[in-house]
Structure formats: C-alpha cells, structure tokens
Amino acid sequence: MEELGITIAGDPFPHLLCHCVLTCSNWEWATICHSESLLALRTGIQAALFRLGHVPLEHWTDHSSAATHNPTKEDGHRRPFNKDYLDVMDHFGMRPHTIQVNAPHENGDVESLHGALKRRMKQYLLMRGSSDFESVDIYRQFLEHVLEKANSGRSVRLAEELKRMPVLNVSRLAEYEETSCRVRSWSTITVKRRIYSVPSRLIGEKVSARRYEDRLEVFYNGVHQITAPWISRDGEHHINYRHLIGWLVRKPGAFRQYRFREELFPTEVFRWAWECLSEKLSERTADREYLQLLHHAARTMQCEVEAALLAVRHKGEIPRLDHVLAACRPAVHEPPRLKPLVVDLGYYDNLLVSQGVRA
C-alpha cells in the first residue's frame, strides 16, 4: 500500500493489507498488517469470517511462508502446509488449498480485486483531499468505509453464497503469540530476536510478552506493564529511557559503555547537556549529573527540563545539575502541613451518659 502515500500524523505509514475475497460475489474484506506472517494471516482471515458470519468450505492461498514451508525430500516438489496454518483451518472448518507455484492467474479474482481496491482507495483519498490521518484507528475506519461501500453492491450474489455456507459458530482465536522471558540485568527482554526495555523494577523477574501483529504487550503476574510498537526487523531494539534511568542513576559508571546509550538522549538538547558537562567536568561527575537530569525528566516533565536546558544553553552557561533543577518543579511535592490531632476524651463520656451507662 506504500504507493498511496498514507501517513499517520504526518509520518509515513508503510503497511500491507490482508485481503480476503469470495470468488462468486466478490465480497471482500481487508485488514491492516505489517508483514506476511502467520499472525497477520490469522488476524485477517478471522476478521473477514466474523464480518461475514459464515465459513467457506475452502481457503485458497499462494505459497507464502505464513501458510507453507520449503519441501523436504519426503514432500517432493510441493510446499507442505505449516502446522499452525492447518490449526487455523481446522478451527474454522475450512479445507486449505494452494495455487501452483508461479501461477497467480489461479487466484485471478483476488489478484484483480487487489488492483481494484487500490484504485478505489486512491479515488476516495482524492475526494477526501488528504492521505494523512490523525491515527491508525481513523485510517482503519476509512478503509472499512471504502470496503463497506464496495460490498453494498454485491448483496444479491452474496446472499446466494451465504445459503451454501455454514454459519460461523466457533470462538475467536487469540490474535497474539505469547512467550515467557526473564528480564536481564540491563532491564531488557528479547522477543523473537528483538530487544525491548521494561521497567527496571522487573530485573530478574519472569514476564509474559504478547506479540500482536502491530505491537507488543508485556505483563507481570497478569498485570499489564508496557505496550510498545512491534519492530519489523530482526536484531532491532525499542528502548525507553524511563524504564532504565532508575537503575542507571544508581550505577552511573555503566552509562558510557551502555549498549543503548544513544537512546538515553531523548532530544538534541539532552545530548548537548551531556557533551557540555563532559567537556567541563570529570567523566564520573558529568555522567552522574546528566543521569540525575534525565531522572528528573522521567519523574516530572521532560519538556520542562528541556526548556531549562535550552535557557542555560542560550546564556552560554554550563548545565550543572543544581542550576537546571532550580528552574524546574520539584520531583516530589511537599505534603500539606496538617494541624496536630487533639482528642477530647470528654466526647466519649458524653456518649456513655446519653446511652444511660454509668461509670
């Protein structure tokens, strides 16, 4: 879908569509995905089936790695189905089929409707006047509106198809893959060769990571801890300095050699602050004061610390810890002063007298 130039809040939104089609009526449905994984296929198939309310007898697909894998000597030349894909087919009661290799014409209906959907989306975007959306949810609503309008003219032939299709009577499959992992000493976990930071209080604990098609959710003892976007490529990382700073501020000596140190500069002015401190002070003092500044930003408002740093830089001064913190609100507000509680025991005597009780 990249050729349509969809953006979310001004940022490019590279994505795919999992596109399902009934070949008689051409009823169609599509879901947003970011890869050709089994998870994307499972999400797309069941979204279409639950929208339809009925189940086709067969499901046809090409030889994507989500559904099939390379053949062994025992398999011959035909790519066999993956077990997880067969489990999806068994759950919904559909027979799996694949087209022949390099024979996209065997899925001609689907292939032609791919192009038709793109052209229809392009026309609706032109009428809308913009390809930018405030959020992914608003874009998803736009996509579903386009699909609903297209399906509205297919109701007669769809009704004929539905008469010959069993009613859907199974529960939804989980749209995530769950793994258990232990939080390392660097306050990170690894999920499918992707590294994520988690709150440092979880170091050494075992957490549950749920990988959705577009995000990762982490739970500890059943309690939700973080939600982070799913990283598309192996070996990449997603580090949030707020997760790490509570640990690093106690061990400032680990800062300079930290593998993900670049992630600890949330904006350019924070990098300037550390570089300036490093030029004027010893390494140990510079690292300690910078981490204290970052810790304060994590506990209060990053924008306030950034504004204080910008003011210091504008004056040509060194961003010393005390100077910057003096321009920011305190991390912990002082509790209100309360008057001391004075108890008059005479109230209890009056209570006893009113009940007719004598001492």
- Which range (140-144, 188-192, 288-292, 331-335) has the least confidence? 331-335
Residue 216 near residue 227, CB atoms below 8 Å: yes
What mean pLDDT is reported for the chain?
Answer: 90
pLDDT tens string 244-281: 998 899 989 989 888 889 999 999 999 999 999 999 99
- Residues 52-79, mean pLDDT to the nearest whole number: 81
Looking at the fold, whether 15 and 115 belong to one and the same domain comes out as yes
Residue 75 has pLDDT above 70, yes or no: no
Looking at the fold, whether 256 and 196 belong to one and the same domain comes out as no
SS3 state of residue 206? strand
C-alpha–C-alpha distance, residues 18 and 7, integer Å:
19
Residue 358: what pLDDT? 57
Residue 16 near residue 33, CB atoms below 8 Å: yes
Residue 171 lies in a domain: no
Residue 341 lies in a domain: no
Cα–Cα distances in Å, from 241 out to 246, 255, 265?
9, 12, 8
Looking at the fold, whether 216 and 314 belong to one and the same domain comes out as no
- Number of domains the chain contains: 3
Looking at the fold, whether 190 and 306 belong to one and the same domain comes out as no
Looking at the fold, whether 123 and 222 belong to one and the same domain comes out as no
Residue 105: what pLDDT? 66
Residue 29 near residue 47, CB atoms below 8 Å: yes
Residue 348: what pLDDT? 82
Write out the E strands in 114-252. 132-133, 177-182, 188-191, 194-197, 206-211, 215-220, 223-229, 237-238
Q: Is the Cα dihedral 300, 304, 308, 313 positive or negative?
A: positive
Residue 241 has pLDDT above 60, yes or no: yes
Closest alpha carbon to 60 in 29, 39, 81, 87 = 81
Looking at the fold, whether 97 and 116 belong to one and the same domain comes out as yes
pLDDT tens string 98-123: 877 666 666 778 888 999 999 999 99
Domain containing 60: what range? 2-163
C-alpha–C-alpha distance, residues 20 and 114, integer Å:
10
Tell me the whole-structure pTM to 2 decimals: 0.74
Q: In which residue are the tokens 């398999």 written? A: 75
Q: Which of the four pLDDT bands, split at 50, 70 and 90, describes residue 350?
A: confident
Write out the E strands in 48-114. 58-61, 95-98
Looking at the fold, whether 37 and 67 belong to one and the same domain comes out as yes
Residue 137 has pLDDT above 80, yes or no: yes
Residue 96 near residue 66, CB atoms below 8 Å: no
Closest alpha carbon to 122 in 216, 6, 12, 281 = 6
Looking at the fold, whether 191 and 114 belong to one and the same domain comes out as no
Residue 44 lies in a domain: yes
Question: Percent of the chain scored above 90 by pLDDT?
Answer: 69
Residue 74: what pLDDT? 64
Q: Please enumerate in sequence order all residues whose Cβ is within 8 A of that of 342, keeping only pairs 6 or more positions apart, or say none.
A: none
